[in-house]
Amino acid sequence: MHTLPQLPYSYDALEPYFDAMTMEIHHSKHHQAYIDKLNEALNGSGLEDKSIEELLRDLKDVPDSIRVAVQNHGGGHYNHSLFWESLTPAGSTENTMSTGLSDKLTETFGSIEKMKEDFKKTALSRFGSGWAWIVKKDTGELAIISTANQDSPLSENMSPILGLDVWEHAYYLKYQNKRADFVDAFWNLVNWQKVEKRLG
């Protein structure tokens, strides 16, 4: 059985950038619903003991009858778990980028500002619901991409380094239609220490 991970901070810890009510609904209702539906789909499939990473990496091995459910609800579970861990209160130690990470990202994207610009463009051009990501491809190369719905980069042979949920439920209460303001706010909350660990 997959279970809802506890947040490593309180619902109001990301104020004023991410408001407490959105965080609470997003975590306790939306994320929980993905988990409930994933467990329901897996029940009796023989795949109950597989990790969520294994399920999504080897989506083609999941039986036809539940593949879409695992893609959507399993992806929802994995993506949100990674998202919560990618966040930290503004101004915390984890919110500070090390020189090593800054150099690496600058080398890849030209500059940190350029990286944020590309990421924002990608987040804004996702029509409807989905995610913006910084991923590591199987070649080791870093890239900024977007996925639709709850599709996970894991299912496309990529390792997510940083992800932003751009479904309206992630920002509508505070930002309404202004997805761009939500993306700008996100940078104040990134757990750069986690990002650096994922880079390996």
Q: Tell me which residues touch Mn ion (CB under 5 A).
A: 165, 167, 170
Cβ proximity to Mn ion: between 161 and 170 the closer is 170
We find the least distance from the C-beta atom of residue 167 to Mn ion, in angstroms, to be 5
Cβ proximity to Mn ion: between 134 and 170 the closer is 170
We find the least distance from the C-beta atom of residue 83 to Mn ion, in angstroms, to be 7
Cβ proximity to Mn ion: between 137 and 174 the closer is 174
Q: Which helix (H) or strand (E) holds 145?
A: strand 142-148
Please report, for residues 22, 93, 163, 190, the alpha-carbon distance to residue 28 in angstroms, rounded to integers and kept in the order given. Answer: 10, 26, 19, 21
Give me the residue whose beta carbon is nearest to Mn ion.
165
Cβ proximity to Mn ion: between 94 and 165 the closer is 165
H helix intervals, the chain: 20-25, 32-42, 52-57, 64-69, 75-85, 99-109, 112-125, 172-175, 179-186, 192-199
